[in-house]
Structure 1
């Protein structure tokens, strides 16, 4: 517990803000995991906070809450890009201001003052309207102080032309599409690609070689190429909030080395997730049907092959019996070839016998197989040679192969 307590003190610093007689306070502090500032004894209706970073820190976040320590994703605040300005109306509550960063190096200046007057940052006064939640920028301007020019996405298709390392900002006002799922498709004619940074934050993020925090809930980084467009789906759960704005920045990858103009095309459309789901189900059904048809065709092929081979064997058996009847009815023919009494069989009809007992080799489909009346199987050539030696018995059990009272002659060895 002591170790955890000291760890908490090292990573979280809390201090009380003591104003001078003009209700003014300022401090230069070190960037660390979390700093907390508490304001008590509130005597002014409005309090203003301004933070200026002495270095570039893409993970630095400023937030505030009333009567409780501010927490990321639940309290009001935003990322800082060099300077951030907050207006707080406490209504008699204790103010907690927090700064948070993934970095532990560098410094920043925080200034807090109280006033009876209500005003916004100077840039906001020129380019936007001051509201309780901050600046409401005019069309074509974005940022916490409305200083950054940007193109608003309003039409079904918007095209931006990017040259060299030029950065262009554009934005989409989500509150214009209440309770509607929308889709943004980004495509380009650049084979070297375009980097797109999507921001759910009022802070202006300038793309740079510095790696941004891509795991953040407020920043997403994507790269698109000529053959790899990007689809962004904005769901109704986001549009149910008020005054939500998606800010995007784009520039060419390796723009300093590229002297060509690249086009970024943005298509805005309504997204119907049910139609998309139906399309996926149809594709799955088609794949299953085609796969099933292929399997059935393969099975039918082998079944027909076995049926055809069986018919051939039965036809040979009928021809053998016909020859036997012709020979037995002919008084001049009193002898019979023993080999004709052996039945041709399929390999899959052989049970408990893998080898020919005469040559000791495997029985397989490559050679014809004959079966004796005692149900022993041999290669046709092997049993034919056996019978040519005037042997009428089965090589396995010595059973007489020829039927009774039927005279036979040995098969001439060919």
Structure 2
């Protein structure tokens, strides 16, 4: 049952094309996710397919393959019309004796379309040209003022020097530049506007004409380049060494005001076309490089000088600290020498006396031992007697006072305080 059901479904979706005696076939079909058309009886070298949608369907995609059912987005198809979201789709097929399979895919299940297929011995372009465009093997050649894969879109030609374009409301305008007159030349386009709300610019990298919208386009759509310009943010486009491989090569781009009210003059787009001078740009780059190098060298020199000055200041501080330490040590040594000299001077002023001249003093007031123990005795100017070793140790402890009466034993007091022995 499952196999029978699958066969019935496949039979319903797949239709065999039966040509009339003029090699012509047409059908009005309902939109489906996978409508398949098969062409078996091939008597012509070329076959052409044209589909006209009766309503807008941005998901509708027309593909074909040979000897197998096409795979979505991988087999050959009319992707240009798909990108343009147009109601008319077109295929040019060279079967080389193989069976042709054509799919008409849509995410929608509502609506109808007309599909027409015919065979021919003559080769035409990959689309049906409009607006007096001429059909060649490599595509439509449009007359002045029209662009697109089938010459359906009106456009303004960019002239040399300055072009000013007025926009009314949120209308979209297309522009083109013929490259065949700029062989082996670099071209520069300067785009500017007086609108603070800005203008959306779509540079076309394919024959498809993408109408700009207010919404951000996907980054995966590499067939276009999207930019926005404002009154304070112009745009420079540079095209290097454009050498056309065939005649009538064009640059096409579209422009549309952003968030503009209807039925009013909202902004002016200014397009300046000129030959790009590499020498000026090279000179500017060299000047910028020199400035950057000079600034970098200056910064490096300043950093080096900073660390050198810091090192010099540090060495000066270390030398100053060493000098202060030396001066402090010298002062301490000088104080010690002075104390030693004072001690020696004071000790020399003490007169050695015999034990009988001790003025009835029997013991040393420092060690409390008897003076008459065969030790040398010395007397102060205040007439107090001590063992020589005891008074010497007393003076070595930086004590300049008499151990008994606390009289000053310094040199300056010797003459004033000294009294004759009795």
Residue 136 of structure 1 and its aligned partner are, at CA, apart by 0.3
Residue 261 (1) aligns with residue 245 (2): no
Distance 1:242 1:39 in 2: 36
Counterpart of 1:218? 223
- 1:236/1:118 CA distance change after superposition, 3 Å: same
Distance 2:136 2:270 in 1: 34
- Give matches, 1:236-255, under 5 Å: 245-255=250-260
Residue 90 (1) aligns with residue 90 (2): no
Whether contact under 8 Å (2:36, 2:104) holds in the other structure is yes
User: Which shows bigger deviation, 268-277 or 190-199?
Assistant: 268-277
- 1:27/1:193 CA distance change after superposition, 3 Å: same
The match for 1:306 among 309, 314, 317 is 314
Distance 2:135 2:273 in 1: 32
Counterpart of 1:24? 25
Counterpart of 2:177? 172
Paired residue total = 330
Residue 253 of structure 1 and its aligned partner are, at CA, apart by 0.5
Whether contact under 8 Å (1:134, 1:144) holds in the other structure is yes
- 1:256/1:83 CA distance change after superposition, 3 Å: same
User: Which shows bigger deviation, 239-248 or 151-160?
Assistant: 239-248
Whether contact under 8 Å (1:123, 1:147) holds in the other structure is no
Q: Secondary structure at the match of 1:247?
A: strand
The match for 2:134 among 124, 129, 132 is 129
Residue 151 (1) aligns with residue 153 (2): no
Residue 265 of structure 1 and its aligned partner are, at CA, apart by 2.9
Distance 1:280 1:16 in 2: 69
Distance 2:67 2:186 in 1: 37
Q: What's the TM-score once normalised by structure 1's chain length?
A: 0.60
- 1:239/1:120 CA distance change after superposition, 3 Å: closer
Distance 2:132 2:243 in 1: 27
- 1:38/1:122 CA distance change after superposition, 3 Å: closer
- 1:70/1:21 CA distance change after superposition, 3 Å: farther
Counterpart of 2:348? none
- Give matches, 1:38-57, under 5 Å: 38-44=38-44, 46-57=46-57
Whether contact under 8 Å (1:162, 1:264) holds in the other structure is no
- 1:307/1:113 CA distance change after superposition, 3 Å: same
Residue 199 (1) aligns with residue 204 (2): yes
Residue 24 of structure 1 and its aligned partner are, at CA, apart by 1.8
Q: Secondary structure at the match of 1:260?
A: strand
Distance 2:121 2:270 in 1: 48
Distance 2:252 2:92 in 1: 24
- 1:195/1:126 CA distance change after superposition, 3 Å: closer
Distance 2:15 2:241 in 1: 41
- 1:260/1:216 CA distance change after superposition, 3 Å: closer
After superposition, give the CA deviation of every residue in 1:142-169 in whole Å (9 maximum; x if it has no partner).
1233232212335265443323212210
Distance 2:43 2:37 in 1: 17
Distance 1:72 1:158 in 2: 40
Whether contact under 8 Å (2:146, 2:155) holds in the other structure is yes
Structure showing greater Rg: 2
After superposition, give the CA deviation of every residue in 1:203-251 in whole Å (9 maximum; x if it has no partner).
3333345765552232343322223334556577996688654421111
Distance 2:239 2:105 in 1: 28
Distance 1:59 1:281 in 2: 51
- 1:230/1:117 CA distance change after superposition, 3 Å: same
Q: Secondary structure at the match of 1:191?
A: coil
Counterpart of 1:341? none
After superposition, give the CA deviation of every residue in 1:121-142 in whole Å (9 maximum; x if it has no partner).
9984653222123320012211
- 1:253/1:172 CA distance change after superposition, 3 Å: same
Counterpart of 2:379? none
Distance 1:73 1:158 in 2: 42
Q: Secondary structure at the match of 1:312?
A: helix
- 1:280/1:178 CA distance change after superposition, 3 Å: farther
After superposition, give the CA deviation of every residue in 1:83-142 in whole Å (9 maximum; x if it has no partner).
3354636374445545566x4455443322235677789984653222123320012211
Whether contact under 8 Å (2:91, 2:126) holds in the other structure is no
Q: Secondary structure at the match of 1:207?
A: coil
Whether contact under 8 Å (2:66, 2:95) holds in the other structure is no
Q: Which runs of 5+ in 1 are unaligned?
A: 336-405, 410-414
Question: How large is the Cα RMSD of the aligned pairs?
Answer: 4.9
Distance 2:36 2:316 in 1: 88
Q: What's the TM-score once normalised by structure 2's chain length?
A: 0.59
